[in-house]
Each structure stands twice: as structure tokens, then as C-alpha cells.
């Protein structure tokens, strides 16, 4: 049986009207201008591509930046809402939906059409691409890849909700473009914040090392997916909350457990750092409808002697106190402005530090991704594709059917092999009980641990 996708149709989806709005990308957006984000949603039954395309066209009226193109004017990156459109390709594959789920993070899985972010930066490509694949057993794989410069996951979730509402004939949610993000931040940020920028300029030696890590990524690293059930997470929360002396969330618990276990199985007894991106809209009192990159980050030290409970508690304290203790967007703006736009390519996020096994852990849960409804169907599985495997990067999102939490972790190949072994599985699921009820799809996708 062939699992190679067979092309059935291609089209370009447009709203039909160009707003001509020009979005002046901020300094942080420009830092992300060579990155694309790719995600996949799986549905048990067939979706009608014509209805999907018509719904996407309406959604692009509400969030037009995704149908636009990038350009640079006087050294400033801009997104022009010119309705150039979104390519949408339709494929068929003979394999099953479960087989497609099992390959979602594999190199060359072909669930999405990953954007050429560098080409798009100069106006040579789209800012969103959609691939619809029908599986041999009647399922549908909906793959989306978008350019990070125009929006974070929150922004994509706004588009997804608008797309869903359009297909279902419901009222579309509000969405608001930030036409000049740096100007917006300058208005709403306090004059002083924690003062610690989230970027650094590596020296020549570290730059060479980072370049080697990036070049070797596909050969040296592997992507592993881990599913933690609701009962399993409840036990983590109880134990970690008791250790920390405070309430911790499911996201806090899973982040702390996964980070601790990765370092533990790697035989690492050194003090390390954890970086956790934060959606800054709510802490800054900004509307949820804002489209753009409104991300901050939290940086926490970790000592193996403290254990995951202390880390979970520290993370909860940091999330609640983000605006007072960790907000650094003003410091970021100053740091990047001093470098100047031509110098942005010389710096890297503090969270990318593979030499010191610094884990970056993004929590994508609670964005309503499993609430997206197309033709009466909600996704049974959602996943990032981790299309470029940089090490020590993790994402967490709700698991099968919106239950539990699925963590996608990119780690060195040797550690991935250990995670998949008996010792690794036992360590990862030390809070799972044999009586726990697990999703039926989990057994059908054996590559998810």
C-alpha cells in the first residue's frame, strides 16, 4: 500500500477584496522573519474542500494579513494586506488516518506545505499555505503552515476560529491587526520592566557552535511525542503542589515533569535553565482579538536537588507575577533598537542554548484548537510538525480529542532512543496507573509514548 500523497487539486484562496492595510513589523517580528510554524489537524471523516476554501476566504476578510505578502521598505519589514492569496492543495493518500498521525513529526511526512520563510520575507511567497489530505479510510488531514513574522499561535487560533465559524455559518469572531507593534508596545508598556532582555549576541565561538547545531539538526536530533492522561496529570499536580506548597496547573506540572525527566534520562546533574514563552496580551491588558507576535518569556533556574515540584511551583509563581517580575518587552525593544535592524541577524533568543541543554517549553493548551468545527466535526488530534528539529525545544497541547496533554519534544537522537526504551517510558509515566482510562487512538498511534 502506497502512503505517498497523490495530488488531486490546487487553488489559491482569496478574500476577494484587498484592504491595502500595511502592517509595520516590529523588531521582534523581524527576528522571526526566517521562521515558519506548521501544525496539523486530523478529522475522522472527509471534509469538503470547496466548503473549506469558501470558509477560508471569509476568514481572510477578517484576518487579511495571512493572505498578504511581506516587503522591506527603508529597512523596515512590512506585511501588505493585498489579498495575494493562500495556496491550498488537495491530496489523497492510501494509508489510514492513524498511520498519518504516527508520521506527523517524521521528516518528509508531507502533511503540510512548509513555507519558505526566507523567500516570503522578500515577497517571494505566501504567508499561509494549506494542504488537505484525504486518507484511505475516509479521514482528513488538514495541514497549515504560516509565517511567524505575521503572528504567533494566538493569531493562528484567531484565524482558525474565524475559518470554523465561516464554514459552520456562524458569526465570525473579532480580529484586530496591530499596524505598528513597536508603537503599540511603547504606548502600553511601563517605562521600566525587569530590564533583562530575552536576546543576546553570541561571540564568534558560540556563533560557530550554534551554526553547527542548526546545520546538523535533522541528522542529530529526533522528535518524540508523549501523551499524559488526565488522571496521570492529576497525580502530578497533587504531588508537585504539595512539594511546592501551592496550587499548580496542569501545564505547570507537565512542563516541570517533562523537563526534569529529560535532564534526568540524559544523565545531567548540572544546574540548568528553563525558558517558557508567555502570551503577553492578558498581562498587558490588551484585547484577545489582537493579531501579531505578542510574546514574552519566563526564564527559571533549575537544580536537580530541588525536584520537579519546586520547578512547577516556581513556574506558577512566575506566571502569576509575570508583569511585575518577568516582563521584559521594554528591555527587548531597547536591546534590539540599539543593535539596529541590520544587526538583528547577529542575535539569538536566550532560550536557544543547546550547549547548556536549556529547555524551551511552549504551552499551546487552552487556545481552543479542539473547538474548531468543520462540517460538524471537531479534530480528533492536533499536533505541531516540528519541521526543523532544533534540540531541547518542547510544545504541549491537548491530546486526543482534547483530553490530557500531548508534549512534542525535540531532543538529541541518543536521548530519544532512551525515552522510547523501557527505562524511558517508565520514567515518563511514573504517575500513570494501569487502571487509567486512555484514549483508544493512543493505542492506534504507537509512536506516541
The confidence band for 36, taking pLDDT boundaries of 50, 70 and 90, is: very high
Alpha-carbon distance 160 to 66, whole Å? Answer: 11
Average pLDDT for 280-297 = 96
- Contact, 56 vs 163, CB < 8 A? yes
CATH number of 196-367+382-444: 3.30.559.10
Alpha-carbon distance 334 to 189, whole Å? Answer: 12
pLDDT at residue 109 in the model: 85
**Least confident residue range of 95-109, 231-245, 360-374:** 95-109
pLDDT at residue 409 in the model: 97
Tell me the three-class secondary structure of the chain, residue by residue.
CCCCCEEEEEEEECCCCCCCCEEECCHHHHHCCCCEEEEEEEECCCCCHHHHHHHHHHHHHHCHHHHCEEEEECCEEEEECCCCCEEEEEEECCCCHHHHHHCCCCCCCCCCCCCCHHHHHCCCCCCEEEEEEECCCCCEEEEEEEEHHHCCHHHHHHHHHHHHHHHCCCCCCCCEECCEHHHHHHHHCCCCCCCCCCEECCCHHHHHHHHHHHHHHHHHEEEEEEEECHHHHHHHHHHHHHHHCCCCCHHHHHHHHHHHHHHHHCCCCCCEEEEEEEECCCCCCCCCCEECCCEEEEEEEECCCCHHHHHHHHHHHHHHCHHHHHCCHHHHHHHHHHHCHHHHHHCEECCCCHHHCCEEEEECCCCCHHHCCECCECCCEEEECCCCCCCCEEEEEECHHHCCEEEEEEEEHHHHHHHHCHHHHHHHCCCCCCCCCCCHHHHHCCCEC
This prediction has a pTM of: 0.96
Cell numbers linked to 250: 496542569
Average pLDDT for 100-122 = 90
Alpha-carbon distance 199 to 97, whole Å? Answer: 41
- C-alpha 329, offset from chain centre: 20
- Contact, 159 vs 292, CB < 8 A? no
Give 62-72 pLDDT, tens digit per residue: 999 999 999 99
Closest CA to 34 of 114, 142, 143, 112: 114
Average pLDDT for 1-21 = 87
Please state the length of the chain.
449
The confidence band for 50, taking pLDDT boundaries of 50, 70 and 90, is: very high
At residue 428, does pLDDT exceed 90?
yes
At residue 31, does pLDDT exceed 90?
no
Cell numbers linked to 73: 521598505
* Mean confidence (pLDDT) of the chain: 95
Average pLDDT for 8-16 = 97
Alpha-carbon distance 313 to 126, whole Å? Answer: 42
| % of the chain residues with pLDDT over 70 | 99
At residue 22, does pLDDT exceed 90?
yes
Q: Is 176 exposed, middle or buried (0-12, 13-18, 19+ CB in 10 A)?
A: middle
Average pLDDT for 217-226 = 94
At residue 437, does pLDDT exceed 50?
yes
The confidence band for 3, taking pLDDT boundaries of 50, 70 and 90, is: low
**Range list for CATH 3.30.559.10 in the chain:** 6-186, 196-367+382-444
- At the top level of CATH, the class of 6-186 is alpha beta
At residue 386, does pLDDT exceed 80?
no
pLDDT at residue 1 in the model: 38
Average pLDDT for 226-250 = 98
Give 415-426 pLDDT, tens digit per residue: 999 999 999 999
- Contact, 120 vs 423, CB < 8 A? no
At residue 397, does pLDDT exceed 50?
yes
Give 159-210 pLDDT, tens digit per residue: 999 999 999 999 999 999 989 999 999 999 999 999 999 999 999 999 999 9
Amino acid at each position: 500500500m502506497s502512503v505517498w500523497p497523490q495530488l488531486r487539486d490546487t487553488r489559491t484562496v482569496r478574500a476577494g477584496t484587498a484592504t491595502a492595510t500595511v502592517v509595520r513589523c516590529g523588531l521582534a517580528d523581524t527576528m522571526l522573519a526566517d521562521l515558519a510554524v506548521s501544525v496539523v489537524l486530523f478529522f475522522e471523516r472527509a471534509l469538503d474542500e470547496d466548503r473549506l476554501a469558501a470558509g477560508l476566504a471569509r476568514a481572510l476578510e477578517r484576518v487579511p494579513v495571512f493572505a498578504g505578502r511581506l516587503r522591506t521598505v527603508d529597512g523596515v519589514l512590512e506585511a501588505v494586506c493585498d489579498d495575494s492569496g493562500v495556496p491550498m492543495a488537495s491530496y489523497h493518500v492510501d494509508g489510514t488516518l492513524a498511520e498519518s498521525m504516527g508520521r506527523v513529526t517524521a521528516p518528509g511526512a508531507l502533511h503540510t506545505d512548509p513555507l519558505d520563510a526566507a523567500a516570503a520575507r522578500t515577497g517571494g511567497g505566501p504567508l499561509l499555505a494549506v494542504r488537505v489530505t484525504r486518507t484511505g479510510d475516509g479521514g482528513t488531514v488538514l495541514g497549515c503552515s504560516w509565517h511567524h513574522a505575521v503572528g504567533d499561535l494566538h493569531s493562528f487560533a484567531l484565524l482558525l476560529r474565524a475559518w470554523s465559524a465561516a464554514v459552520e455559518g456562524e458569526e465570525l469572531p473579532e480580529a484586530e491587526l496591530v499596524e505598528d507593534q513597536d508603537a503599540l508596545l511603547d504606548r502600553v508598556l511601563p517605562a521600566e520592566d525587569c530590564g533583562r532582555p530575552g536576546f543576546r549576541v553570541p561571540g564568534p565561538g558560540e556563533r560557530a557552535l550554534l551554526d553547527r547545531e542548526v546545520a546538523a539538526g535533522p541528522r542529530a536530533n529526533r522528535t518524540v511525542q508523549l501523551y499524559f492522561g488526565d488522571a496521570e496529570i492529576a497525580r502530578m499536580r497533587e504531588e508537585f503542589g504539595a512539594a511546592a506548597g501551592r496550587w499548580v496547573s496542569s501545564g505547570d506540572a507537565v512542563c516541570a515533569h517533562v523537563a526534569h525527566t529529560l535532564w534526568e534520562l540524559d544523565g545531567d546533574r548540572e544546574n540548568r535553565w528553563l525558558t517558557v514563552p508567555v502570551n503577553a496580551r492578558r498581562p498587558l491588558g490588551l484585547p484577545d482579538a489582537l493579531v501579531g507576535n505578542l510574546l514574552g518569556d519566563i526564564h527559571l533556574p533549575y537544580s536537580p536537588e530541588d525536584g520537579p515540584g519546586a520547578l512547577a511551583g516556581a513556574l506558577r509563581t512566575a506566571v502569576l507575577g509575570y508583569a511585575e517580575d518577568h516582563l521584559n518587552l521594554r528591555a527587548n525593544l531597547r536591546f534590539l533598537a540599539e543593535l539596529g535592524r541590520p544587526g538583528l541577524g547577529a542575535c539569538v533568543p536566550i532560550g536557544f542554548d543547546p550547549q547548556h541543554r536549556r529547555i524551551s517549553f511552549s504551552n499551546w493548551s487552552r487556545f481552543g484548537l479542539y473547538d474548531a468545527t468543520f462540517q460538524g466535526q471537531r479534530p480528533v488530534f492536533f499536533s505541531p510538525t516540528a519541521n526543523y528539529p532544533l534540540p531541547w525545544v518542547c510544545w504541549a497541547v491537548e491530546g486526543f480529542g482534547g483530553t490530557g496533554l500531548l508534549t512534542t519534544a525535540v531532543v538529541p537522537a541518543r536521548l530519544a532512543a532512551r525515552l522510547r526504551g523501557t527505562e524511558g517510558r517508565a520514567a515518563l509515566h511514573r504517575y500513570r496507573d494501569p487502571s487509567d482510562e486512555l484514549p483508544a487512538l493512543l493505542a492506534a498511534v504507537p509512536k506516541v509514548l
